Amino acid sequence: MNRKLLQGCSSIRPAHIFCSALAYLALAWLISYLGDVHNFLGLTDRLINRGAERPFMWYYLFMEGSPTEMVQWLYLSATVVLCGLTSGRLAAKNYRLPARFFLLMGIGVVTMLMEDAGNLRHQIKYYFRLALGDTMLVGIAVEMLFFGLLGLFMLYALVRYGRYVWRQRMTRNFLGLGYISYAVASLASGTRHFADWYDHAGNWLLQVVGLYEPFNARFVPTAVGRPIGFYVMDFFLEESLELVAAAALCTAAYAYYRALCLDHRIARTDD
């Protein structure tokens, strides 16, 4: 069994994992560009003819529960499994300090998966609004508190135990990318309703690339909808960034696990 795992580790390189996420994003962005800008193969017409209120390929590729989110769940789930395998392998060889890092990282990523797949913060926000009132300020405060606590937990794992896995260069690089990307995405998401900056930023971006008028002309918001710029930020850009972050964490976990399979001395903490 160990020999098979070792052979698998040797054939699959960490860069393959991260590049697979970039390949998916490139394909999703290409489909969005061809369909929404050039109506390639009549993709946009089909959405309009079927009565879609938001007839954009990017909207359906990046909305909640979309293919992009499903790919994120795949990377996050793989990260949890890799953290468990790595922590157990390290603990079995009495490398307790790096084992604790991957244990804590796995717990944090499980929470991130619950949030991403089940909108955990929205459920918590619902109960706070029942108790404190259904106001935007309460919603922003709860979301920032949730992301802040989760971020502090992940940061504690990195600061307290991260140095014990730091010698593996690829792990170090992708952990940094994953942490920074998730921090930016979480901060942006938690404050997205503050001064409606998502609305303004998204509309400005569409104006810069010359797509605001044609996109807005066929955009039909619902009674509780937001301007089209909000969805550009909340779905198209934010979900893209979160996918990069999830893939980076998965790559970091796999890079260390692969290095550990090839040479367990990577886990030494006595120097």
**104 lies in a domain?**
yes
- CB hemisphere CA count around 105 (13 angstroms): 35
pLDDT at residue number 130: 72
Alpha carbons 72 and 82: distance in angstroms, whole number = 15
In a domain, 5, yes or no: no
Amino acid (1-letter code) at residue 227? P
Instruction: Please write the tens of the pLDDT for every residue from 192-230.
Output: 888 899 999 999 999 999 999 999 988 877 756 789 999
Report CA-CA distances (Å) from 107 to 100, 180, 204.
Answer: 11, 18, 38
Flag whether 3 is in a domain: no
* 160 domain residue, yes or no: yes
- Residue 11's Cβ-count burial label (10 Å; 0-12, 13-18, 19+) is exposed
In angstroms, how far is CA 158 from the centroid of its own chain? 18
Q: What is the dihedral of CA 176, 181, 183, 189, to 10 degrees?
A: -170
pLDDT at 230: 94
Q: Is residue 1 part of a domain?
A: no
Q: Is 210 exposed, middle or buried (0-12, 13-18, 19+ CB in 10 A)?
A: exposed
Instruction: Please report which residue ranges of 39-168 form alpha helices under DSSP H.
Output: 43-49, 57-62, 67-92, 96-118, 120-132, 136-161
Which residues constitute the domain of residue 173?
Answer: 15-267
Whole-number Å distance between alpha carbons of 176 and 22? 17
Would residue 94 count as lying in a domain?
Answer: yes
Give dist(CA 78, CA 56) in Å, integer: 30
User: Is the residue at 146 inside a domain?
Assistant: yes
Q: pLDDT below 70 — which residues of the chain?
A: 1-10, 134, 136, 223-224, 269-271
Question: Tell me, what's the pLDDT at 1?
Answer: 46
Number of residues in the chain: 271
Q: What is the pLDDT of residue 3?
A: 54
Question: Is 10 within the bounds of a domain?
Answer: no
Specify the number of domains making up the chain. Answer: 1
Residue linked to tokens 């998966």:
113
